[in-house]
Homo-oligomer: A and B are copies of this chain.
């Protein structure tokens, strides 16, 4: 057995009594070479079981046809779904995707970026971790001459010189909360997010506050629980809210996992959605509609985001001269299901008149 001894261009060239260069060009379909030679070269390559060595090709051509991607989490609907679009779009454009996962850890994120640069990826798409504050690493990437696009999450405030593909977090949240106000809720809470050093943490909270402000509703500080973006954060956030004493009628969850955590907490506390607490969140999932009650949310078009991110980075790679920034803001839509519906609200009102002054969860 021929172990770690791969067929090379040389082997094919020898067999055909031509030069390596001819073989190289023929294999890549270069117009220099006659169709006849191409055919012959391909035939022999196939027979010999030739597999081009991308490491050598990339080293020599000084480009890799690889896209580096950094995401905070993998086992989340939003990222899984977005990544599927990234992979597909990259594949269609003959790019390989190198995916790395920071696990919401800034240090790990930094290491991954260094690795991607060492792999000489042609461009980087990143959604930063929830704890990333230091932006020096991104400046370093820029200095290395590798274009980088922030998708969904970027540092706050915005880094000049970097392109972004973002979601309209403020408007999406505002619309959702205004809907809740419209159907009659006045005691409003917010869980997850709220960290000022990244856009989604800041802007989703901002949207929440703007909605309240424009309707003359006071913001109750004890009903705004800042924190991470995970299921655990949602669970703990709701528990904290509950321990605090008074509860709002409605909470907005900064992310879908946060909402899941809240569902869990509510279940554990023996409470009921939407009777005891109503809820909406930012981000959909393939099974929000199977939850009971089915979860209304701000829908982020995951496929569109992933596709746009790849298109943006490809444009940056192909036109390296223009120092132009691309800024795409993708609008969201409100997805209304069982939670936060007029029915839910009505039932709640009705119930309010029946229960004792001890409150529903007593």
Contact = CB atoms under 8 A, between A and B. Distances in A.
Contact of A4 (B80, B96, B145): B145
Contacts of A145: 1-5
Nearest to A146: B4
Contacts of A3: 145, 320
B59 A53 contact: yes
A260 B4 CA distance: 45
A62 B53 CA distance: 11
A119 B98 CA distance: 12
A97 B96 contact: no
Q: Copies of this chain, how many?
A: 2
Contacts of A54: 115, 118-120
29 contacts: A2-B143, A2-B145, A3-B320, A4-B145, A6-B144, A51-B117, A52-B118, A53-B59, A54-B119, A55-B58, A55-B59, A55-B64, A55-B119, A59-B59, A74-B83, A74-B84, A75-B84, A75-B286, A76-B80, A80-B80, A87-B101, A96-B115, A97-B99, A260-B287, A260-B290, A263-B290, A264-B290, A267-B290, A292-B292
Interface of A: 1-6, 49, 51-56, 58-59, 62, 64, 73-77, 80-81, 83-84, 87-88, 91, 96-101, 103, 108, 114-115, 117-120, 140, 143-145, 231, 260, 263-264, 267, 286-287, 290-292, 320
